[in-house]
Amino acid sequence: AQSVTQPDIHITVSEGASLELRCNYSYGATPYLFWYVQSPGQGLQLLLKYFSGDTLVQGIKGFEAEFKRSQSSFNLRKPSVHWSDAAEYFCAVDLWGNKLIFGTGTLLAVQP
C-alpha cells in the first residue's frame, strides 16, 4: 500500500543552522511529491513540488528538496533556518488526480 513516512516527529535546530527533514515514500509508480508547511491553527502552505525532470527542486522561503528514486526519498532542506520557520512540515504523495496522502509530519522548533 502507498505510504509516506517522516521518521522525525520533532526536530530542534538553532537559528542560522542548516535543516534537513526526511521523507520516504512507498509508491508503485513515479510519484508526484509535495512539501507543505502548517503554522499552528492554520491551513497548509505549499513549499515545493516535484512532478518530473530535475530532481532538485527549489521552493519558497529558501527551501529545496531532492528526489532520490533509489532511496524513495524526498528530503527537504534549508541552508539557514530563521525563527519564522518554526512550524509543522508535511510531506505528501499524490496518489492520483490530486488525491494526497500525507506523512505524519515533523514539528520544527527553532532555538535563538
Q: Can you give the binding site for another protein, defined by CB under 8 A?
A: 32, 34, 36, 41-44, 46, 49, 51-52, 90, 94, 97-105
| Residue 66 C-beta: closest distance to another protein, Å | 18
CB of 12 to another protein, least distance (A): 16
**Cell numbers at residue 28, please?**
508503485
Nearer to another protein, 10 or 14 (CB): 10
Beta carbons of 18 and 77 less than 8 angstroms apart: yes
3-state helix, strand, coil in the chain (%, to 5): 10, 55, 35
Shortest distance (Å) from residue 49 CB to another protein: 6
Instruction: Give 43 or 112: the residue with its C-beta nearer to another protein.
Output: 43
Find the shortest distance in angstroms from Cβ 41 to another protein: 7
Task: Name the amino acid, one letter, at 27.
Answer: Y
For 49, 66, 107, the CA distances from 54, given in Å and listed in that order, are 11, 9, 28
Q: Which is nearer to another protein, 15 or 107 (CB)?
A: 107
Give the nearer residue to another protein in terms of CB position, either 17 or 109: 109
Q: What's the CA gap between 2 and 96, in Å, rounded?
A: 11
- The CA distance from 55 to 53, in Å, is 6
